[in-house]
Structure 1
Amino acid sequence: MLLEQVRIFLEQYTAENKLAQSYVEERLQQFTAAGAVDYTIEEMDYALKLAWRNSNKCIGRLFWKSLHTFDRRHLKTVQEIYEALLAHIDYATNGGKIRSTISVFDPSVRIWNHQLIRYAGYKTANEIIGDPASVEFTQKCQELGWQGAGGRFDVLPLVIQVGDAAPVVFDIPKTHILEVELRHPTLEWFRELGLKWYAVPMISDMKVEIGGLDFVSVPFNGWYMGTEIGARNLADSERYNMLPIIAEKMGLDTSKNMTLWQDYALVELNRAVLYSYKEDGVSIVDHHTAVEQFLLFEKQEQQAGREVTGNWAWLLPPMSPATAAIYHRPMDNTKHKPFYRYQQAPYQNR
């Protein structure tokens, strides 16, 4: 059964890279003789690119070929893995000129974090300070001995586990963390809100299946679409919930929905995000340009003889979705392997 799934992947790899047909049988014979499947770095690299190309929820797939792979499957100790994660952060951040990057580790490795860099959330008797989405993980970090400063934007530590050994907590030195302080092109008071966000979204809790093998620690990143920060992370009522505060500072009437105060505040928050990232030289894309890039991706895939699948609800930007050219179009959400998928957090088993 495993070798059949391996064959399917190798046939796609061979066809798309225009290799000799004998390649598949040669590799299968090698795996059979060794008694184990061990993909080459070239095979892994292409599989991880394919997984991005097949990611139905991702609007940024135009750049799938640019993904840079760090093969870290040989690393066995938490210290080595920690250092590799810092190297990933540095390479991907690149002083703000963000590079799409992925690191692949041995299946025995688990990274507990949702993202390599993310803000803590502290639950107090009266409120949540920081990011409400991080409360559970923050509590786990505290149980493991980490003590955050209790602020709104404290970067969480990395938590790394190898096999059945106890997880180990590592702080991320500030020199490895690039953040953007948010300000507005015309609203001078915006800076006083004290908002900021980290430069690179590095997802670290998803897995990918490649030819029947699960790789459960494959942290990867692109760069932000502005609305991920401005229309979700900072705006959602279950996250930082900044719209009421911004609306009040703008002098808007928040007593009734029909004044559209949320819409006005949302636009200005997103303007601030895009303006600040651009001013600081940090890669970011607005949602209108992201849609245009997705349409170009579709065109390229059609020229290659491949149909694009996608999750309509995720591909539509969370802001002004009706302006997107894909708004009125039905979309096939069929999933093709390999692709990145969710998995249960290891600390939820404890």
Structure 2
Amino acid sequence: MKLVIAILIFFLNLFRKKKLSYQYIGKTYLVYESKFDKDIFDYCSYIRGGLLKELPNIGQRSIFFLRVNPPTPFHLIAHCYSIFVQVEHVLVKPGGRDSEGFEAGALLIPSATIAIPYLARLSNYERLKKFDFIVEYSRINLANIQGVEKFYDLQDRLLYISPTLYKLSCTSSDARRRNFIAITNFGNSEEPRRKIFLEAMRAKKIPIQNIQTWYEDIEELYARTRILVNIRQTDYHDTLEELRILPALRSGVIVISELAPYKELTRYSEFIIWGTLDELPEIIRNVQDNYGATWNSIFKTSKFTRRMNRLEQRNELTWKRWSKKMHLNLTSSS
């Protein structure tokens, strides 16, 4: 079987732009993209690591495909399962970019004067519904999807894995090591609301840098950063950017964020400093002026460490439950 898979992967890669790699572990194989997209590289790598840890517990001959639909020949040699990684913003107000045609979600827009629900925007729905399992990074996204008739068929396939990407490393504020005073990492700093914010910061002479091209070794970037500022890209897309925020927190970075709806669903919102877009410049100035005391108030608490460890443990439990279910399914079908 190993030789057959190697041959199949070789011939597939002759015709694919995104090349595939594979690993054999236990009685299972994991097939995945050799190079994940740069903006989600660390999260996809984290998912791959979780899978590789649990696949030996399945104990039955099978092939799992991460972000890849199994080509037909693989179905002839073993049971095949595909896993999608969902990283889109699902909370979108009506009229938002790429929102046309989506149904109302379960969550209401807090700022609306009347009860108006967010749209449940899964822009990649036609692709992801072909997968056996969907990994989701956001509890907020999940809460908005639940109960939407169009997505009923996804409910039993969803796996919530929070982005606890990096080892918990917040033992020191070390201002000498953290030479980036405050950063944003906007891929496009010309988006109107982000551009206005950066201009306001410059006008008030508050130090900030937009780190736009640092896609690899983000953990090192965060190790050198004191403050991360999070601003949503548009007025319509409201899912909190947890793929950015949580890894930064785990690296000992103070996170200052624009207020986000349903932030309490993250289970760690109390460790983030929140404010409106207009309030953020002065909040940032105050934190810069009182960096050491602010850092200690967040990271030198046992509650922070317990919560971060709990998030990791929940991820591990999710994978264990999933592998146990897969073992039972494959055992009963063999």
Same fold by TM-score greater than 0.5: no
More strand by share: 2
Q: TM-score, normalised by structure 2?
A: 0.28
Q: TM-score, normalised by structure 1?
A: 0.27
Greater RCO (Cα-Cα under 8 Å, separation 6 or more): 1
